Amino acid sequence: MIKVVKPGLETTVQDEGRIGYYNIGMPPAGAVDQFAYAVGNMLVGNEAGAASLEMTYMGPELQFQQDGVITLTGGYIPPKINGVEVPMWKAISVSSGDVLSFGIVKHGARSYLAVAGGISVPPLMGSRSTYTLCGIGGYDGRPLKAGDVLTIGRMRARAVKAGTKVPDKWIPSITKPHEIRIVMGLCSYRLTDESKALFLQTEWTVTPEANRVGYRLKGERLGFVPRDQPFGAGSNPSNVVDLGYPIGSIQIPDGVEPIALLNDAVTGGGYATIATIISPDLSRFAQVKTGEKVRFVSISYEEARQVRIDFKQRLTQINEHLEGAM
């Protein structure tokens, strides 16, 4: 078991997400940085889908109440065991009584703690992920609080040798300004050509309104093609007849402050979504902090598909490498 001494800013139980219910309005939740989450499970020998802890900006203080193996991946919030800094992207042995704490965030926004066996909470709709807006999943449907006690599960697929690490070539680097790849659409036809170009030229600043639901960005005002609004659409030029929102879709209410929707966002509505972040880059976007700059880079659907194939192949290569190292 693991006792929560201090909860951190927002620490939640997350996994691959609640897949298959988007059509009834249930967003997947799940780890926002799926790459870091998946590699964490590989490093501790867990089955795919085992639950981990997602920690945002300020990590918790946790006391282990049994021996085990852990790893930390994702953004760099310097981890410490009993006050001594330990490396990330590496399997680490912990003993009963050890205390894991964190320093001030250095790079990225979210770190992931994977524990051999996974975090055991009751699955709901096929997932252990926390969806805080509805108060479901995870640990009582909420971020962790001081005094909570987490149970370690039994989703360990193989033993892991302490010290096993991910080679540097596969550890994502965080560069600034963040360049995030998108595919234009579904409703980019609503923007004027000048505004489409301005959207791609602008370095957008992440505002304090940035969480698991979405990131609001500040930059230039964009214009829409004039038209008589169709029946069923709102009166604002940024409105369309209600449609589904892809995860990672970007809407621009009234042409100001684009909002990129993430894992906990509503699944549909009446704002024009003018672009969608490609799925592999959602993990990179998850590591952008408030105040940092983002530039969107338009690629084709075919290019996005190849990036996704490469992303999955990279995860396969990492898993095969780690299996060989155990």
321 contacts: CB under 8 Å, gap ≥ 6: 166, 167
Sign of torsion over alpha carbons 227, 231, 237, 242 = negative
**123 burial via Cβ count (<10 Å: 0-12, 13-18, 19+):** middle
Going from the N-terminus, what domains does the chain have, and what CATH number goes with each? Answer: 2-172 (no CATH), 178-306 (2.40.100.10)
Q: Residue 175 has what pLDDT?
A: 81
Q: Amino acid identity of 71?
A: T
Q: Amino acid identity of 34?
A: Q
pLDDT in tens, the chain (326 residues): 999 999 999 999 999 999 999 999 999 999 999 999 999 999 999 999 999 999 999 999 999 999 999 999 999 999 999 999 999 999 999 999 999 999 989 999 999 999 999 999 999 999 999 999 999 999 999 999 999 999 999 999 999 889 999 999 999 988 888 999 999 999 999 999 999 999 999 999 999 999 999 999 999 999 999 999 999 999 999 999 999 999 999 999 999 999 999 999 999 999 999 999 999 999 999 999 999 999 999 999 999 999 999 999 999 999 999 988 76
Q: Is the peptide bond before 28 cis (omega within 30 degrees of 0)?
A: no
Q: Residue 326 has what pLDDT?
A: 62
* Residue 46 structure tokens: 């867990």
Rounded distance between C-alpha atoms, residue 91 and residue 94, angstroms: 10
* Residue 154 structure tokens: 């039994």
Provide the β-strand partners of residue 84.
81
Rounded distance between C-alpha atoms, residue 76 and residue 97, angstroms: 24
Q: Residue 275 has what pLDDT?
A: 98
Cβ(212)–Cβ(264) below 8 Å:
yes
Site of tokens 């964190």 = 102
